[in-house]
Structure 1
Amino acid sequence: MPLHPSPLRHPGPDTRIGVKEAEAALVEHYPRLVRLAYLTLPPGLGRHRRVLAAHAVVQRSLYGKPPSAPRPAEGVPAPRSGGPVAAATQAPAYAGVRLRVVRSALAYGRRPRWWPGRVPAPAALRPSVPVVRGLRLFPRAGGMDEFALDRALADVPAPVRAALGLRLLESLPADGTRLLLAEAGVDDPADAVRAAALVAGSDHERVRRMLRSGEFDPCTVQTRPGDLLRRRHRGRAGAACLVLLVVAGGLALSADGGAEGARPQVSPLRRTLPGGALDPAGLVRTPPAQWADTSRVDFSAWPPRGDRTDDTGLLERALGNWAGPTADVAVTTTPGTAVVPPAQPPQLLFAGEVGDEAVVLFHDGGVRVVRYAEPLSGEGAPDLDFARVDDADVTTAAALAVSRTGTSVRYLLAPWVAESATRDLLAPDAPARALDVGGDGVTAAVPRPEGGGACDSWPAVQLRSSEKIVEKHAFLVADLGDLAPAHLTHTPRPGSGAPARQPREATGTDGLLSWARTACSLRDLRDSGVRAVNNWQFAQQRLPGTRSTADWVCTRADTWRGPGRVLVQFVPPSASPSASLSARGEVVSDRRNTALCSRFGQHVVAGTHWKSPTGAWYVLAAGSRAVHRIEVTGSARGVSEGPTLAVRAPRNAAYHVNARLHDGGTLSASP
């Protein structure tokens, strides 16, 4: 007579599993059960408590009455093959233990709404073993993808995390997952399965690999000591002594603060990140000469600079506040930048004193730069700035704002910058003025464009790269309020002899003249995470009743996160030859999140109202070089077999512009 049920006969829902069979299944598949419990448990427990709770949930699944076999899903036969592991995980003993694990992990996070968030759950819902004293346990840190997945799972309910684990780690079908969740006490298991499918997306294999990585493995952990000082104090003193120690400690801290100046406190969160990501000794430091002998000329080639690169205390405070800013830290981010701790030791770019601040700059190795600044006097709050810099190159990784005031900014220049100067974009005829740079790569103060009022000047920095990287050329950057200044380029008008849609550096005469007429429009692009701005003079139009011409310019701002913004500007002729630079562009169209005026949107048409010197009003329209016919409809009507059109119309006439391309395509624009 067999001792176990036949694998070909599915036990009924009331079949009891023997304790020995359940224990054998638990021991054999312990790692996968603990991983499933860890995934389901509330992330708010913290990584240490979550590891212990996952082991406790699995170990306590044998307590009480022997587990029952879960009810089979109707119409879903058990798999006939799949290897010994798949067959074993479908066995009644394992299925019963798994059901208990999921039920217990879900119950752990199920508290009454009135239950305080920081108070532990009731004892009935709180596993009591195992207990670890004196050590903190953490799963091994994964990459940025695993970290992002962990953050995403923290925002969904426990049933969704359980459903994701059952579907991807346990390879259960959707019907089987819904039935198991229902038996575990989930109110709407179908909704949990649907939400888990949304979290997994279309690439299930990729998410499955991440869930099986060390980031979600509570059986392979790293250890760190707990709070040694607190443990020692608790063992040596009673309640009365603690009061005395607090008073004495406060006096000692006050004395130290008066001698050395108060320092920002480091967030306790820095002790919870594994992998040495917040250890100053583990910071990546690029060799000083690597930039001249590498194929990757970006922030990864910057060596550490500044007079405090070996100041462990400053670096600890910067890293600690990056991991978990204290309440007094002022945090700013550019749009689309993740404010998360580093997943691995970051690269140190700068640590030194700039003005009245101690400043530290980090690069996380791929996507972000982080700036930390604290006042040298000890008075005032620290600042923490995050910015995206993915896919930076010779020009977009040429400088970072290391210090900024209301009227000026100081940059840390890339090691490949051989020459630096400043110039006013609104004065293209004025020569560039040399910019002083210290031995640590920090520039003198550069004036910032005024935030409001008249646009009388627009300072920019002109840089020239070193011939050592075979990229010796000059380029312009301008401060738009972010850590990395924006790279300014220019695309000449049709008929200039330049190839179509080939942006070039704006340091030549045509580029400087173009920016002199349009630089004030950069005000609208401040603090939006702009990577580069290109001026494309897509059309030139003869104005009716005059001998003058006007330019049509498409100013495209590309952001670090991807989406672009387009300002189409009509640049009228100057009022007189002596005022050749006084006429500035007028924005006639503002488009966001668009591919217009890029290599993915190479055709454009626009229109505007214009008053001639004689007082007559017109509707003007122009298109890029591929436009061969323009038609205006509405209150103003007209057709032109060419890329420009002018139609007499009332001052506020409503109109719509349609254009046809040489290849048969169409474009349209409205005011």
Structure 2
Amino acid sequence: MQSQDVAPRPSPSPTAESVVDVEQAEAALVEHYPRLVRLAYLVLPPSLGRNRRVLTAHSLTQRALPRGRTSTSLIPAQTTGRDGGPGYAFVRLRVVRSALDAGLPLRRRAWPKRAQLPPLLPQVWGLRLFPRSGGADELALDQRLSALSGPARAAYVLRGLEKLPDPAVEALLAAAEVADPAAALAEADTVPPQQNALLTSPEFDPCSLHARPTDLMRRRQHMKAALAATAAVVVCGALLGLPGDGWEPDGAAAPPYAQNPAAQAALDPGQLTKAGAGEWKATGRTDFSVWPARGGLVDDTALLRRALAVWARPSESVQISVTLGTPAGAPPGPPQLLYAGEVDNLRVVLLHDGLRIARYAEPKTDTGVAALDLTRVDGASGAGASALVLGRSDGNVRYLTAPWVRAAAVRDLADPAAEASKLELSKDGVAAPFGSPAVRTGECRSWNVLQLTDASGTRLLTDLAEVVPAHLTTGQPSSPREASPATWSPFACSLAAVRSVGVRSVNAWQFARQPLPDGSGTADWVCTRAETWRGAGTRALAQFDTPGGAYVAAAADETPACGPADPHVLAGAPWKSAAGQSYLLAAGSKDTVSIELSGGVNASAPGNLLTVPAEEGANAKLKGTLANGRKINALR
């Protein structure tokens, strides 16, 4: 039996067979299952989040076997390289192809591929699963891989994990229906091959997992809501036999399923609520409830009826996106109309039901297909209610701004010295489009953010592939202030790690400044923490900003560290001086009175800074003590 961590030996005659028996494929999958799951996990887009990547990797690998019991054709080129014969090569190709499919964006006019849908199995209730955390090197590699396109990520992993030569990688990618394998290989060259050994790290092992519970309080609330919903379904079912006129089909909406008068009222365009044009001035409020209805189609009753009907009962032709933690389903009562108008080649409607924003979009030429985005915005005000995404097209994003916004601009967060470029605002508050980092692949060289100015000042918002942009702040977790481009510049590209998870705001907090050994200058320790609309799902990154550049030193999910509930943090990172001497550096927040290293390196220091010579790759356990005597562990 071959080790799970070593690629299988090549078959004696790689070109002898062009057909693989299903039993061969099944034996290869069982024998090399951990390796295939790791391959899928690494190729899947990191934007899925670690929990979903784990489950999706297992699901795709388990579906890699062909259906039926007959032999299946195999592309001869795939039997070259370090594989275990045609069986292993076949399931590896299926895993790579499905993992690449899972990273493709959904298209409005095409049915989603099976791999693009969330896995039905395996499924785990009440738990979040994620691999063990690695060190700073693994985090840096994960960040670099996240910047690559899917094919380039696959090329790098096939080189480094499978040890395939470039011709075999190119042939495998071509068999996986990659349009330009040569370009994928060229893009993969941007990641140093010296990091190949890290691909076997526990950080990327979806078979060795940590388990944590989901939000227990929220789960209890959802159980109560589910019981109430079940009772409502029973009541609605009783109304099915009542006489009355049925709803007519509305565009992409599914046929009606009930004759509930209350539900009908909620979906009647005539019942939509609309705020007055100057209501926000009279009340002094800065939330979505005072946004006036804007756009050239606010009186298009047919469009509004279709939007409401699709929200209540979307058909299979509707592309649905629901932000993590956002309740699905129809509005509980008549929602508020925020916008209805034409955006590029679409008709777009924005609605607000007090808890959620619903974005409905349909092509101008076809009302039979549509897209529906739902995202929660409970408690949104000020910066959180300053802009909404109207649409994304050709790599650009277009925003609808709040009525109190006086000016809009775009600026490159990665280049703080560059001047902001003014964005024209229409009379309805629609901003001109600009390049969005949310849909970009490849190496991160810039990060465009939206800069809005109102009576209270200027704020920065960034597109993280949601309907609501995330607010960027800086400073102490208990009292963050508006961010400046200079503060965020070294960490702009790290925002890619929190795309598509329902982020409300991201705060950057410099918790320590440390002199570097050998008189090499100073470095800043900064914690960037993403808060979500649902409360759970937070992600904190400890970043080490040196004169040579910033990198992620540690990361943690579902942690109170570095946040308003626990404004303390401790992190460590390796560092090499210009003279070639290797060190381990560590820092804690200002109320840290001592730091201790144990394990691979034993050292301690009073205060919140520690510097100790250490061999490259040394691993040590880091602990700190706060002024009140409390012990804290390093962020990881």
Partner residue in 2 for 1:423: 411
Q: Measure how far apart 1:488 and its partner are.
A: 0.2
5 Å matches for 1:596-635? 596-635=561-600
Q: Measure how far apart 1:392 and its partner are.
A: 0.3
Report if the CA contact (8 A) 2:599-2:621 is conserved. yes
Q: How big is each residue's C-alpha offset from its partner over 1:199-250, in whole Å with a ceiling of 9 and x where there is no partner?
A: 99799999999999999599999977234999xxxxxxxxxxxxxxxxxxxx
For the residues of structure 2 that align with 1:282 and 1:217, how far apart are their CA atoms?
21
2:612 to 625, 628, 647: 647
Q: What fraction of aligned residue pairs are identical, expressed as a percent?
A: 40
Unaligned runs of 5+ in 2: 1-216
TM score, norm. by length of structure 1? 0.58
Give the match's secondary structure for 1:647. strand
2:306 to 317, 320, 340: 317
Report if the CA contact (8 A) 1:656-1:670 is conserved. no
Report if the CA contact (8 A) 1:270-1:319 is conserved. no
Partner residue in 1 for 2:530: 557
1:226 to 242, 245, 248: 245
- Report which of the two structures shows the higher radius of gyration computed on alpha carbons: 1
Report if the CA contact (8 A) 2:575-2:582 is conserved. yes
Partner residue in 1 for 2:32: none
Q: Give the AA of the match of 1:482.
A: E
For the residues of structure 1 that align with 2:441 and 2:344, how far apart are their CA atoms?
26
Partner residue in 1 for 2:401: 413
Partner residue in 2 for 1:327: 316
Residue 487 (1) aligns with residue 438 (2)? no
Distance 1:424 1:265, change over 3 A: closer
Give the match's secondary structure for 2:519. coil
5 Å matches for 1:533-544? 533-544=506-517
Partner residue in 1 for 2:482: 505
For the residues of structure 2 that align with 1:612 and 1:301, how far apart are their CA atoms?
56
Report if the CA contact (8 A) 2:503-2:531 is conserved. yes
For the residues of structure 2 that align with 1:559 and 1:328, how far apart are their CA atoms?
29
2:370 to 382, 402, 405: 382
5 Å matches for 1:516-595? 516-563=489-536, 564-574=538-548, 583=549, 585-595=550-560
For the residues of structure 2 that align with 1:363 and 1:545, how far apart are their CA atoms?
58
Partner residue in 2 for 1:336: 325
Over the aligned positions, Cα root-mean-square deviation in angstroms equals 3.2
5 Å matches for 1:75-154? none
Distance 1:546 1:199, change over 3 A: closer
For the residues of structure 2 that align with 1:199 and 1:528, how far apart are their CA atoms?
17
Residue 274 (1) aligns with residue 261 (2)? yes
2:350 to 349, 361, 375: 361
Distance 1:426 1:228, change over 3 A: closer
Q: Measure how far apart 1:669 and its partner are.
A: 1.8
Give the match's secondary structure for 1:590. strand
Report if the CA contact (8 A) 1:269-1:323 is conserved. no
Distance 1:273 1:373, change over 3 A: farther
Partner residue in 2 for 1:166: none
2:338 to 344, 349, 362: 349
Q: Measure how far apart 1:355 and its partner are.
A: 0.7
2:383 to 383, 389, 395: 395
Report if the CA contact (8 A) 1:632-1:657 is conserved. yes
Report if the CA contact (8 A) 2:378-2:533 is conserved. yes
2:426 to 438, 444, 450: 438
Q: Measure how far apart 1:266 and its partner are.
A: 3.4
Q: Give the AA of the match of 1:226.
A: D
Report if the CA contact (8 A) 1:655-1:670 is conserved. no
Q: Measure how far apart 1:296 and its partner are.
A: 3.8
Q: Give the AA of the match of 2:442.
A: G
Partner residue in 2 for 1:477: 461
Q: Give the AA of the match of 1:615.
A: G
Q: Measure how far apart 1:429 and its partner are.
A: 1.5
Q: Measure how far apart 1:527 and its partner are.
A: 0.8
Partner residue in 2 for 1:288: 277
Q: Give the AA of the match of 2:480.
A: P
Give the match's secondary structure for 2:383. coil
Report if the CA contact (8 A) 2:524-2:544 is conserved. yes
Report if the CA contact (8 A) 2:247-2:256 is conserved. no
Q: Measure how far apart 1:535 and its partner are.
A: 0.2
Report if the CA contact (8 A) 1:489-1:504 is conserved. yes
Report if the CA contact (8 A) 1:657-1:670 is conserved. no
For the residues of structure 2 that align with 1:538 and 1:227, how far apart are their CA atoms?
62
Report if the CA contact (8 A) 2:504-2:533 is conserved. yes
Report if the CA contact (8 A) 2:254-2:314 is conserved. yes
Report if the CA contact (8 A) 2:526-2:543 is conserved. yes
Give the match's secondary structure for 2:384. coil
Distance 1:570 1:224, change over 3 A: farther
- Which is bigger in relative contact order (C-alpha 8 A, separation at least 6)? 2
Distance 1:556 1:371, change over 3 A: same
Q: Measure how far apart 1:272 and its partner are.
A: 3.6
Partner residue in 2 for 1:669: 634
Q: Give the AA of the match of 1:566.
A: A
Q: Measure how far apart 1:273 and its partner are.
A: 4.3
For the residues of structure 2 that align with 1:358 and 1:210, how far apart are their CA atoms?
32
Q: Give the AA of the match of 1:525.
A: V
Report if the CA contact (8 A) 1:637-1:647 is conserved. no
Report if the CA contact (8 A) 1:266-1:316 is conserved. no
Unaligned runs of 5+ in 1: 1-197, 231-262, 467-471, 493-499, 575-582
5 Å matches for 1:32-47? none
Report if the CA contact (8 A) 2:237-2:258 is conserved. no
Q: Give the AA of the match of 1:515.
A: W
For the residues of structure 1 that align with 2:583 and 2:343, how far apart are their CA atoms?
55
For the residues of structure 1 that align with 2:462 and 2:384, how far apart are their CA atoms?
11
Paired residues, number: 416
Q: Give the AA of the match of 1:442.
A: V
For the residues of structure 1 that align with 2:441 and 2:236, how far apart are their CA atoms?
54
Q: Give the AA of the match of 2:369.
A: A
For the residues of structure 1 that align with 2:297 and 2:474, how far apart are their CA atoms?
40
Distance 1:315 1:605, change over 3 A: same
Q: Measure how far apart 1:371 and its partner are.
A: 0.6
Structure 1: which 4+ aligned runs deviate by more than 6 Å? 198-215, 217-224
For the residues of structure 2 that align with 1:402 and 1:225, how far apart are their CA atoms?
37
Distance 1:320 1:203, change over 3 A: closer
Give the match's secondary structure for 2:361. strand
